[in-house]
Amino acid sequence: MSRLVVVSNRVADPRKASAAGGLAVALGEALSSDGGLWFGWSGIITEGGAPGEGAIHTRQAGNVRLVTVDLCREDHDSYYLGYSNGVLWPVFHYRLDLADFDAGYVAGYRRVNQMLARKLVPLLKPDDLIWIHDYHLIPLAAELRALDCRQRIGFFLHIPLPPPLILAAVPQHEWLIRSLFACDVVGFQSQADVEHFSSYVGQEAVAEKLDAHQFRAFGRRVHAQAFPIGIDVDEFAALTQTKEARETHAHLRKEYAGRHLLLGVERMDYSKGLPQRLKTFRELLKKYPENIGSATLIQIASPSREALDTYAGLRQELESLCGAINGDFGDLDWMPVRYIHRNVSRRRLPGLYRAADVALVTPLRDGMNLVAKEFIAAQDPDDPGVLVLSRFAGAAEELREAILVNPYDTFGTAESIQLALQMPLAERQRRHQQLLERIRSHDVHWWREAFLSALAECVPE
Ligand code: ADQ
């Protein structure tokens, strides 16, 4: 059997429950079942090191070998902060207004991808399956091929792929998509992403569509398909029974007895629609005053990418929105918003989800959104909470029984939240059962097997 080699920007010990970050959680699940090699950046930034060079570290974590590489400050700032998170992240989330097209970033992005390729090649075995993840590493497959790497290579994009005219705003768009054609399989989160890929390569690269999943362009053939990522449903459901989760659940249910609890959980990121959500919650209190004194929104937004100005600005905006709602509507014995700028431990999170009557998962754009799936898995089937989900999350393609909303429409979304708060038990149960079936049939194991089977079955050119 071929060995699995996973390459991603960050590497985590799969044996330890991960902190925030859907990718780390999902990859840990995928690798620990058969073991393999996990390769990426160590998270260490060295001051004064030479660009394009970095020390390599190796350690064993159960059946997974973790190999990581340090980055010097200059590489980190251009590859990670600059190009990955200052250009690709905003553009791929349709936020051209937030992109910083500094011409210097792409050189660092390319340099780091070249260095990672150079360090990875000597570790490879001839029949390895290489699985590269996410927007930080789009050119890596092409750099590996340039070093004569013949192994099968798959790439999975965790974030959305925007439509061609938005993608074309990135000055290096052609180079990025051409690099994907160095892979054998390219996976996306949703059918919408595949359609954007198909129209881009059709329009810009005059690609030939060979069959449902095969495209030929730039002199190579690639298999492109949607593989919607999932969670480990049984494991997550079991987590609701840990001591910490039960304590959290019991504590919240006691504190909010007779009241409604709404919940939002995410990294603090402008793609997650947090200001719009708070404005919607204000609208809910205004339009449906029966919620005053009886509905509380717990909003957990863990710190993320704070070195970037757009993220620091978002934090200030949220703090001011929360302060204004609490000031205008709060009372001595009730505060409408409890805002927490921290990570919640993974052992407590399921208890929190289970205690909530309504989850607000309302990103402006999201590749998939695992919080939506975790919320479903954590519910008590006899008395489940209701998922209010943005139609712009990749998860909305699958989770049709959620209440789908347009998060830009604060008025309409407030109406939908009111519906969710008043939904009769039988309807909550029916919707939850269908949603649970959906996340079970496309869980993280399905995701891994579907992607790796497509990769193992492809015939390299
Ligand atoms: P993220 O943007 O990080 O992931 P998401 O899919 O929701 O978004 O995953 C977040 C994960 O981190 C979840 O497992 C959640 O439980 C955890 N988490 C988030 N905030 C937390 C907090 N405050 N405390 C504790 N845990 C927290 C990217 C893409 C998504 C895609 C995933 C996986 O942006 O669209 O679904 O990768 O592919």
Q: State pLDDT tens for residues 357-368.
A: 999 999 999 999
Taking each helix axis from N to C end, the angle separating 309-329 and 274-287, rounded to the nearest 10 degrees, works out to 10
More confident residue, 31 or 118: 118
CA distance 136 to 71: 14
H helices within 158-232, ranges in order? 164-167, 173-180, 191-204
Domain ranges in the chain are 4-230+444-457, 233-440
From the candidates 75, 366, 432, 442, give the one annotated as an active-site residue: 366
Domain 233-440 in the same topology as domain 4-230+444-457: yes
Centroid of ligand 1 to alpha carbon of 215 (angstroms): 31
Is 23 a residue whose pLDDT tops 70?
no
Active site residue 366: yes
Structure pTM? Answer: 0.96
Centroid of ligand 1 to alpha carbon of 20 (angstroms): 6
> What pLDDT is attached to residue 460?
73
Q: Whose CA is nearest to atom 17 of ligand 1?
A: 20
The stretch 305-331 carries a mean pLDDT of 92
Indicate the SS3 state at residue 48. Answer: coil
Is 24 a residue whose pLDDT tops 80?
no
H helices within 296-369, ranges in order? 309-329, 349-355
The stretch 224-249 carries a mean pLDDT of 94
pLDDT, one tens digit per residue, over 52-82 is 999 999 999 989 999 999 999 999 999 999 9
Give the 3-state secondary structure percentages of the chain, helix then strand then coil, rounded to 5: 45, 20, 35
Q: Whose CA is nearest to atom 11 of ligand 1?
A: 22
pLDDT band with cut points at 50, 70 and 90 for residue 207: confident
Indicate the SS3 state at residue 231. Answer: coil
4-230+444-457: CATH number: 3.40.50.2000
The stretch 252-280 carries a mean pLDDT of 96
Is 185 a residue whose pLDDT tops 60?
yes
The stretch 185-190 carries a mean pLDDT of 98
From the candidates 93, 133, 136, 158, give the one annotated as an active-site residue: 158
Centroid of ligand 1 to alpha carbon of 406 (angstroms): 20
> What pLDDT is attached to residue 20?
41
Q: Give the burial class of 339: count Cβ atoms within 10 A of its Cβ; 0-12 exposed, 13-18 middle, 19 or more buried.
A: buried
Number of the ligand 1 atom closest to the C-alpha atom of 267:
20
Centroid of ligand 1 to alpha carbon of 278 (angstroms): 19
- What ranges make up the beta strands (E) of 111-247? 129-133, 152-156, 185-188, 208-209, 214-217, 220-226
Centroid of ligand 1 to alpha carbon of 22 (angstroms): 4
pLDDT, one tens digit per residue, over 396-444 is 999 999 999 999 999 999 999 999 999 999 999 999 999 999 999 999 8
CA distance 432 to 238: 17
Q: For residues 295 and 259, is the Cβ–Cβ distance under 8 A?
A: yes
> What pLDDT is attached to residue 22?
53
Using CB distances shorter than 6 Å, the residues near ligand 1 are 20-23, 25-26, 158-159, 229, 265-267, 300, 302, 343-344, 349, 366-371, 374
> Which helix (H) or strand (E) covers residue 212, if one does?
none
Q: For residue 15, give the DSSP letter.
A: T
**Mean pLDDT lowest for which of 34-38, 146-150, 289-293?**
34-38
CA distance 435 to 445: 17
Centroid of ligand 1 to alpha carbon of 437 (angstroms): 21
Q: Which one of 6, 18, 23, 346 would you pick to mutate in the ligand 1 pocket, going by the greatest count of ligand atoms within 8 A of its CB?
A: 23
Number of the ligand 1 atom closest to the C-alpha atom of 189:
38
pLDDT band with cut points at 50, 70 and 90 for residue 191: very high
Active site residue 158: yes
**The domain 233-440 belongs to what CATH superfamily?**
Glycogen Phosphorylase B; (3.40.50.2000)
C-alpha distance from residue 122 to each of 118, 148, 456 (Å): 8, 11, 22
Q: For residues 84 and 136, is the Cβ–Cβ distance under 8 A?
A: yes
- What ranges make up the beta strands (E) of 251-395? 260-267, 295-302, 337-340, 358-361, 386-390
pLDDT, one tens digit per residue, over 321-343 is 999 999 999 999 999 999 999 98
- How big is the chain, counted in residues? 461
More confident residue, 235 or 286: 286
Q: Whose CA is nearest to atom 35 of ligand 1?
A: 367
Q: Whose CA is nearest to atom 3 of ligand 1?
A: 21
Taking each helix axis from N to C end, the angle separating 410-421 and 274-287, rounded to the nearest 10 degrees, works out to 70
- Write out the two tokens for 357: 């009557």
